[in-house]
Structure 1
Amino acid sequence: MEKLEQVRRQIVVVFFAAVFLLGMFLAKDYGMPWDETTEFGIFAANIKEYARVLEGEDSTFVRWADEKDYPYISEYIEKDHGQSAYYPCTPWFIKYGYADDMRSLSHAWHRYTFFVTFLGLLSLYAIIKLLLKDWKYGIVGVLMYWLSPRMFADGFYNNKDMVFASLLLMVAALGIYFIETRKIRYAVLLGIAAGFAANTRVIGFWVLGLVGLLYLVVLTAQKQWNRSNFLKGVLIVVVFAVTFFLITPACWPSIVGYFQYVISQSMDFVRWEGSLLYQGQMFGNSFRTLPWHYVPVLIFLTSPLIFLMLMVAGHVLTAGKFLRFREILNGCEKYYLLLMAIVWPVLIYTMIGDPVIYNGWRHLYFVYGPFVVFGARALQVLMHADSKWIRRTAACAVGGQMLYLVVIMAIWHPNQFGYYNLLAGGNVEKRYELDYWDTAAASCIRHLVDKVNPTEPIVIGAYDGYSYAGLPWGAMVLPKEYQDKLIILPEDTYLTADYLFVDTTYREITEKRYEMQLGGYEPFDYDSWGDEYYSEDFLDNRLWVVYKRKGLE
């Protein structure tokens, strides 16, 4: 038995080591989203606040930040966007930021983003292993999460939604382990993790509150109220409050003012006034609000189908157990209730409360980890069925789904964010958003240069400003030998380019905005200007199209 346990541990260690090394290796392949430099600025605004307190306003960092026009976070409109999870990146940020080496900074940023995602994977494994009492389903659950193409890609560069999703999993795991063991180390770690989660997204307060509520209910139901358990609960609150205050310099001038601002922005994000492409129609705050089904439909269209079916089955199975009320607080059922309470009120609110949501369901990525837990539970039930046919079918379906995902993600790497399942149907680029953040611009430029193999620099440009925004950032993260083969024209001189780039999402958005008389760019006849030369794809979904000017040799 001891030897089997040792083998199990070795398998788990090797598995996570392989995931970690692969992620660190792949991180450099992802392009720079067009708002990444804004995120750098928010991060710098936080560090600038610490530099002023620790070294004074004449410190090197403050002077450098002033030169870059980075404000103090407490005076910044973006103070509701916490960056505390990235504080360990400060040495790299200073090293590459002072040198204006955006390529190295972006690569380091992406590797660190994956590191936080990796911590979320470890937390997901810990949750599933405890609830299902079987390490193998923990591994399967991690694969379900990481091999979901949207989660995989965003886990390298989405420094808000994926980071919060990982922090939520950490809080959930530490909360569950604390309630189970009552160990002080879990109480301290829970308070710290919750502080970082709340700094990243205000909903972190909700998550810790639910964990605390469950703790109180368990103590009451099990008649375990005593001085020790009470003080452990107080310890969590104190550690959380101290952690949050120390890592949130935006709240230092006025805690009340800070929360008023954060809550108001969470309820009505007035700083964004953009356009969304959904089911072939245009939506926006000022002209057409999103329908209630926007988030659930996109979750269904962008999640692997077999995983999705397991998640739904897991919810049904768990809800059936809840009907027997006495079972809710027995064993692990209370933790499934906790996970449901974390995600479903927020999901329902997004459907009926009309909050500002854009670029798909990324703001709700934190629900996916809990959903995977329910999926793993359903799979365990199927694998313990009396029927051998059911067991084999379940194993083949999940294994086949994972193999398929590995193959397509390898072939179309690094464009996994463009994944839609079969439910989406064909011609996705005309009906749904694909590369909203211009992330695939880098790989598109790289592949074009490889295809042309020029001896002299090629001249590239874009007609619309949204596509154009991806070109300098995309080129910036490429190796110097690629950058030296490019000349990027100013936006208004696109007609003289050798190759014209267009992000298909923004082609649809700009054309529809013009049709609806919302302003913006007039439709451009790309086929008259040139011939389609290359497209950057994921499966049949075209993310970017490159046109070659007619007459160009």
Structure 2
Amino acid sequence: MLRPTALLPDSLRRPLVLSFFLLLAALGIGLHRDYGLSWDEQLDRLNGIISVKYVALRLAPDLARRQPSLAAIPEMSENEDVDHGVIFQMPLVVLEKVLGLEDPRDIYFMRHLVTFFTVLGGVYGFYRLVTQRLGSWFLGLLGAALLVLSPRMFAEAFYNYKDLVFLAFFTLAMYTLTRLLRRPSWLWALSHALATGAALDVRTMGVLLLGFTVGFAALEMWYRPAIRRSLLLALLLYLPTTAAIVVLGWPYLWENPAGNFLAAFQSFSRYRSDMLTQYLGQQISVRSLPWHYAPVWLLVTTPAAYSAAFVAGCTTLAYTIRQQRFSLLRRRTGRQDLLYITWFFAPLAAVVLLHSVLYDGWRHLYFIYPAFLLLALRGVRVAAAAWRTPSGPAARRWSGAALLVVLAGGMLHSAYRIIRDHPYQNVYFSVLPGPVAERLFERDYWGLAGRRGLEWILAQDRKAQVLVGTDARAALVLHNNHLLLPPAERARVVLTSAEQAHYFLTTYRWHPGAYPTSYGPEVYSIRVNGVKILSVFRRP
């Protein structure tokens, strides 16, 4: 089989890969100030602040108590978000102090930039993962490009501290796992423990990595007796080191590591609120989601060309499994394919079978997206091989060429949408017209458009004080996004009730229908590819 790398000489590998990631870094620096403040960001920062206070009181109590702001920070026992790990949040809190950032505008822009670079590290890990499995740096770079050119992922890489950061850490952990299984050593055991611990301290779903590690290590030892001793020793180092990292990076666990971790893990199956979500045109409880909720959301928000490549990859893999059956596992590549299949399908199946609580689309499952792309790239590799084999059947050659053309067109279209929809790529829908998507699904559930709405109001109304209101349940959208205004403009905003406001702003999260004329005339709106995500009404 001809490798896609034959299309480009290996001498181009270093400059192309370096240029690609430098371009992404430049984009992150140039764009990180464009996004609004998402729904959870203030709560995530507060979680980090509470944990930093807890650590300071344990390690340097006398110094900590001399800090004037300490009393205003809640205690760990008062924190409702203790079930969220803080290994990513605590360094951000420390960094804002080291940099001397005081204004919330500067603080959150810094956090957006650091978040993007963290996700960029996960993209690099995915590049290495694909290169290792498919034996092609060209396909590795293509995989990294597919991940970046996924509009929702691109936008959320700046502000989604939970799901995109978890995707990054989980992907890095899967890469370190493949290296550990291939050549067991203390260095890869420690690297894998660090990546696993970081993932677990972002989302407890990271426990999957422990299962993957132990299960596939056992499979590796079964088929490679020569490495049994070294891999077993690596596991004996990996497991306690991972536990230590998880506890060290999550102060909530310090007093009762096992009990508190179990409580945090169980909290995600007992969601605190009976929240409603818009799905297929109806407001339904997040506790009563139909089985197809996650698969449908994945389909309608993933570029259609990527889904076509995924179907091709799964089809070819299923054919290979049917032909070779268990003999496939005798090869390292076959065992890796099983790992990636498990990575994608097992969490998805678990969510469906266990009726897990999800909301805001399928963001809680974003970490399976790299596995989705890995399977898609398998389809691309087979298509490229078919196209470049003159002696093969004509139908196979042309179907391979068609898939490559479709994928190239899909990537170009995704890049176009990322540019055109900026900074609202988070409401990208792949296969639905705007009015249909607007009626069937949640729109800007992050509340990012609230920033632009406030900026427009202040630009149009020059009064010293401007009263702005919204739906009672969406008040956090205004409170968060007014923090990103320059201080002088922020001081002009008075957040109040809808009845007292001069302007009423909505992002349609829990009010998907039109507003009555009693709200006043609509004076401003934002549409993204036909999907209305914000309206501003001038109150009578």
TM-score w.r.t. structure 2 length?
Answer: 0.90
Deviates more, 1:151-160 or 1:252-261: 252-261
Q: CA deviation at 1:448?
A: 5.1
Identity level (%): 25
Query: 2 CA distance for matches of 1:248 and 1:489?
Result: 35
1:278/1:61 Cα in 2 relative to 1: closer, same or farther (>3 Å)?
farther
Q: How many residues align?
A: 524
Opposite residue 81 of structure 1, the aligned amino acid is H
Query: 1 CA distance for matches of 2:374 and 2:134?
Result: 9
1:274/1:134 Cα in 2 relative to 1: closer, same or farther (>3 Å)?
same
1:481/1:139 Cα in 2 relative to 1: closer, same or farther (>3 Å)?
farther
Q: CA deviation at 1:489?
A: 4.2
Query: 1 CA distance for matches of 2:330 and 2:37?
Result: 46
Q: CA deviation at 1:374?
A: 0.7
Q: Point out where structure 2 has 5 or more consecutive residues left out of the alignment.
A: none
Q: Equivalences for 1:65-80 in 2 at 5 Å? A: 65-68=70-73, 70-72=74-76, 76-80=79-83
Local SS of the residue matching 1:491? coil
Counterpart position of 2:28: 23
Opposite residue 291 of structure 2, the aligned amino acid is W
Opposite residue 91 of structure 1, the aligned amino acid is V
Residues 82, 199 of structure 1: 8 Å contact kept: yes
Q: CA deviation at 1:482?
A: 4.8
Q: CA deviation at 1:313?
A: 2.1
Counterpart position of 1:384: 385
Local SS of the residue matching 1:114? helix
Counterpart position of 1:315: 314
Counterpart position of 1:514: none
Counterpart position of 2:290: 291
2:471 to 443, 457, 464: 464
Residues 322, 328 of structure 1: 8 Å contact kept: no
Residues 281, 431 of structure 1: 8 Å contact kept: yes
Deviates more, 1:32-41 or 1:463-472: 463-472
Counterpart position of 2:485: 478
Counterpart position of 2:49: 44
Q: CA deviation at 1:488?
A: 3.2
Residues 311, 371 of structure 1: 8 Å contact kept: yes
Counterpart position of 2:104: 102
1:67/1:455 Cα in 2 relative to 1: closer, same or farther (>3 Å)?
closer
Counterpart position of 2:342: 341
1:403 to 387, 392, 412: 412
- The answer on 1:487 being equivalent to 2:515 is no
1:447/1:132 Cα in 2 relative to 1: closer, same or farther (>3 Å)?
farther
Residues 415, 537 of structure 1: 8 Å contact kept: no
Query: 2 CA distance for matches of 1:301 and 1:21?
Result: 30
Counterpart position of 2:91: 88
1:221 to 220, 223, 231: 223
Residues 504, 544 of structure 1: 8 Å contact kept: yes
Counterpart position of 1:504: 508
Q: Which of structure 1's runs of 4+ aligned residues deviate more than 4 A? A: 60-63, 447-450, 454-458
Q: Can you list the C-alpha shifts for 1:430-461, whole angstroms capped at 9, x where unaligned? A: 321111121221133335555x3x55457352
Q: CA deviation at 1:533?
A: 2.2
Residues 178, 187 of structure 1: 8 Å contact kept: yes
Query: 2 CA distance for matches of 1:281 and 1:133?
Result: 46
Local SS of the residue matching 1:267? coil
Counterpart position of 2:207: 205
TM-score w.r.t. structure 1 length?
Answer: 0.88
Query: 2 CA distance for matches of 1:157 and 1:329?
Result: 43
Query: 2 CA distance for matches of 1:313 and 1:61?
Result: 63
Q: Can you list the C-alpha shifts for 1:136-194, whole angstroms capped at 9, x where unaligned? A: 11111112111111111111111111111111101100111121222432221101110
Q: Equivalences for 1:101-250 in 2 at 5 Å? A: 101-250=103-252
Opposite residue 85 of structure 2, the aligned amino acid is G
Query: 2 CA distance for matches of 1:493 and 1:104?
Result: 32
Deviates more, 1:341-350 or 1:369-378: 341-350
- The answer on 1:537 being equivalent to 2:538 is no
Residues 171, 208 of structure 1: 8 Å contact kept: no
1:446/1:49 Cα in 2 relative to 1: closer, same or farther (>3 Å)?
same
1:535/1:460 Cα in 2 relative to 1: closer, same or farther (>3 Å)?
farther
1:66/1:333 Cα in 2 relative to 1: closer, same or farther (>3 Å)?
farther
Q: CA deviation at 1:331?
A: 3.2
1:423/1:334 Cα in 2 relative to 1: closer, same or farther (>3 Å)?
farther
1:54/1:227 Cα in 2 relative to 1: closer, same or farther (>3 Å)?
same
Query: 2 CA distance for matches of 1:312 and 1:449?
Result: 49
Query: 2 CA distance for matches of 1:448 and 1:413?
Result: 20
Residues 437, 531 of structure 2: 8 Å contact kept: yes
Query: 2 CA distance for matches of 1:44 and 1:536?
Result: 34
Q: Can you list the C-alpha shifts for 1:357-398, whole angstroms capped at 9, x where unaligned? A: 111111111111110111111111111113564454333322
1:58/1:302 Cα in 2 relative to 1: closer, same or farther (>3 Å)?
same
1:176/1:352 Cα in 2 relative to 1: closer, same or farther (>3 Å)?
same
Opposite residue 548 of structure 1, the aligned amino acid is R
